[in-house]
Amino acid sequence: MSAFGPNIIEIDDLEAPELDVYARLTERQLYDHHRPGEGLFIAESPKVIERALDAGYIPVSFLLERKHINGEAKGILSRCAGIPVYTAAFDVLTRLTGFSLTRGALCAMRRRPLPTVEEVCAGARRIAVLEDVVNPTNVGAIFRSAAALGMDGVLLTPACSNPLYRRSVRVSMGTVFQIPWTFFDRGSAGKPWQGIGSLKKLGFTTVAMALRADPIRIDHPTLAAEKRLAIVLGAEGDGLSPATIADCDHTVCIPMAHGVDSLNVAAASAVAFWALKI
């Protein structure tokens, strides 16, 4: 069937336990699966898988549409000798996973221990901070903009959607593997996260993207001149918490027209990153 040897496994039983990671485990179960505290994630499409491999992530298995074994995935498989490759026709894979595979390729990969906030910020001049952004599509889109528009890292509050959820990884086009990121520690029970203070101690000027009276325009020259800037973006709908806005050095707005009051957080992030990059 293929030049890649006996690790190519034709799927003949959709209930095989080896396929659970692709068909029956939730994102949270993947996070806890196999290695407590590390777990697995799913990378989707040859380009995204390749970027994960380039970043040093370790593959566990592949799920491929049959035609890609000697096609789009050939170069990837040549880098992963001995890794199990489960394969079938496209319609079988769709029945198995419950969705149409992007470019016919999935890869289960091991998570890695996350860096500390201090490690992400070391040497950074522009940092994106996400507060309680729970939509994985928005998280993925923000990462793509952050990587493309000059952010040096991304920090997330504990309530944010995990950047290694399958949809976030796919929407980001694998940029979650190219830009440093981590989560802030959880605050004490009943208290909000305390990340703004820690960023100030690390030398960052903090700007809250929020709708408030008398904000600074995003194109204000003093902002672009800051040596170290943390751009803080809030949750879909509610935006940043009042406590976070109060803690930040500046409140910043994007000028709007036609009576529009705000942008989706992913769109707002792209504008902010472009306007405030070095």
- DSSP readout, 26-75? -HHHHHHSSSTTT-EEEEESHHHHHHHHHTTPPEEEEEEEGGGTTTTTHH
What is the average pLDDT across 203-207?
96
- Give the residues across from 233 on adjacent strands: 130
What is the average pLDDT across 107-122?
94
Residue with the larger pLDDT of the pair 146 and 19: 146
pLDDT at 142 over 90: yes
- 236-263 pLDDT per residue, tens: 778 899 999 999 999 998 888 888 878 8
What is the average pLDDT across 249-278?
90
Average pLDDT across the chain, whole number: 88
Residue 29: what residue type? Q
Distance CA 66, CA 70 (A): 8
- 153-170 pLDDT per residue, tens: 999 999 999 999 999 999
Contacts of 253 (CB under 8 A, 6+ apart): 209, 210, 211, 212, 215, 216, 217, 218
- 64-106 pLDDT per residue, tens: 988 888 888 899 999 998 999 999 888 888 888 777 666 678 9
Q: What is the largest CA-CA distance in the chain?
A: 67
Residue 54: what residue type? D
pLDDT at 16 over 70: yes
Query: What is the pLDDT confidence band of residue 224, given thresholds at 50, 70 and 90?
Result: confident
Residue 98, CB half-sphere, CA atoms under 13 Å: how many?
8
What is the average pLDDT across 123-134?
96
pLDDT of residue 37: 54
pLDDT of residue 2: 43
For the beta carbon of residue 220, count every other beta carbon within 10 angstroms.
15
pLDDT at 190 over 70: no
pLDDT at 192 over 80: no
- 42-58 pLDDT per residue, tens: 999 999 999 999 999 99
pLDDT of residue 133: 96
- DSSP readout, 229-266? EEEEE-BTTTBS-HHHHHHSSEEEE----TT-----HH
Distance CA 107, CA 125 (A): 33
Sign of CA dihedral 185, 178, 225, 236: negative
269: helix, coil or strand? helix
Residue 237: what residue type? G
Distance CA 30, CA 177 (A): 18
**What kind and span of H or E run contains 8?**
strand 8-10
End-to-end CA distance of the chain: 52
